[in-house]
């Protein structure tokens, strides 16, 4: 695993939170969207493996760092050994719990020079996001579904057709949206990993086709109307590196 020089490590609360969010997004993707690929890479016949989330929203299954002590805290070791001895869902949930612990340890390692109020603000920002465990175990989704059933909420989602036209749907829960509701029930935000909520604005990337909270990618409904083809931050950065 490659780690950037410590001199370039995030220093401010905002920089550390961005690092945390990106690493978390990579892990969430490994345990949800890319779960079959992740499962295949965790071969119990291999040596001790770890799940890493990187600051560019990507994930990696690899051996632990060789240097001692490591430049950053290390994630749980040997996640592959229990793969075939546990129920798949329980195994993924266990990795999610360990990943949450690792993400917090990295964030507060990078924030070692923060003062008391800055550490408090950092934790508050982190706590606004659902944990990886909540996303993987569907706990947050169950809570949201329960609250949605008890009140009428508006639904606003944005998607484009092949000709680049934006299609917006805005309804109340009382009107019912049958198949469309089923379509989004398992949708997770590509940035924060949060489950679909009918009262929030969402936008889909036309390249990777992942969905995002508008607030997570800083796109408002008004701004979306003027975008012919939306590319999420990850896809935009990939194009820039080519």
217: left (phi over 0), alpha (psi -120 to 50) or beta: alpha
Backbone angles phi, psi at 128, to 5 degrees: -75, -20
Record the tokens describing residue 103, joined without a space. 């993400």
What string of DSSP letters covers 147-174? HHHTS--EEEEEEE-TTS-EEEEEEEGG
Secondary-structure percent of the chain, ordered helix, strand, coil, rounded to 5: 45, 15, 45
Confidence (pLDDT) at 44: 93
Instruction: Identify which has the larger pLDDT, 232 or 187.
Output: 232
Confidence (pLDDT) at 49: 95
Instruction: Identify which has the larger pLDDT, 60 or 6.
Output: 60
The CA angle 218-200-16, to the nearest 5 degrees, is 45
Report how far residue 16's alpha carbon sits from residue 109's, in angstroms, rounded to the nearest whole number: 10
Confidence class of residue 140 from pLDDT cuts 50, 70 and 90?
very low
**Share of residues in the chain with pLDDT > 90 (%):** 47
Confidence (pLDDT) at 186: 66
Confidence (pLDDT) at 127: 92
Q: How far is CA 9 from CA 61, 111, 238, in A?
A: 22, 10, 22
Beta bridge pairs of residue 61 = 51
Instruction: Identify which has the larger pLDDT, 204 or 236.
Output: 204
Q: How far is CA 217 from CA 73, 240, 241, in A?
A: 28, 18, 20
102 burial via Cβ count (<10 Å: 0-12, 13-18, 19+) = buried
DSSP 175: G
Record the tokens describing residue 100, joined without a space. 């949450």
| Positive or negative torsion for Cα 20, 22, 25, 30 | negative
Lowest mean pLDDT among 35-49, 80-94, 102-116, 142-156: 142-156
- Asked if residue 123 has pLDDT above 50, the reply is yes
Confidence (pLDDT) at 108: 93
Lowest mean pLDDT among 55-59, 133-137, 177-181, 224-228: 177-181
Report how far residue 183's alpha carbon sits from residue 181's, in angstroms, rounded to the nearest whole number: 5
DSSP 189: -
Confidence class of residue 177 from pLDDT cuts 50, 70 and 90?
very low
Domains defined along the chain, listed by start: 13-139 (no CATH), 202-237 (3.30.40.10)
Report how far residue 157's alpha carbon sits from residue 130's, in angstroms, rounded to the nearest whole number: 21
What is the average pLDDT score of the chain?
79
């Amino acid at each position: 695993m490659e780690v950037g020089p410590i001199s370039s490590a995030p220093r401010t609360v905002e920089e550390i939170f961005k690092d945390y969010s990106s690493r978390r997004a990579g892990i969430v993707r490994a345990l949800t969207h890319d779960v079959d690929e992740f499962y295949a890479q965790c071969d119990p016949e291999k040596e001790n493996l770890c799940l890493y989330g990187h600051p560019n929203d990507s994930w990696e299954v690899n051996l632990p760092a060789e240097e001692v002590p490591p430049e950053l805290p290390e994630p749980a070791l040997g996640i592959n050994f229990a793969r075939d001895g546990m129920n798949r869902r329980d195994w993924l949930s266990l990795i999610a719990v360990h990943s949450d612990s690792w993400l917090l340890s990295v964030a507060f390692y990078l924030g070692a020079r923060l003062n008391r109020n800055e550490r408090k603000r950092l934790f508050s920002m982190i706590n606004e996001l659902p944990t990886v465990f909540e996303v993987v175990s569907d706990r947050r989704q169950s809570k949201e579904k329960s609250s949605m059933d008890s009140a009428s909420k508006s639904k606003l989602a944005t998607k484009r057709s092949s000709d680049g036209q934006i299609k917006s749907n805005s309804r109340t829960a009382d009107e019912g949206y049958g198949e469309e509701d089923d379509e989004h029930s398992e949708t997770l935000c590509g940035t924060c990993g949060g489950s679909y909520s009918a009262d929030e604005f969402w936008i889909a990337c036309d390249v990777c086709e992942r969905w995002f909270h508008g607030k997570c990618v800083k796109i408002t409904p008004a701004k979306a109307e003027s975008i012919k083809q939306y590319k999420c931050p990850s896809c935009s950065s990939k194009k820039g590196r080519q």
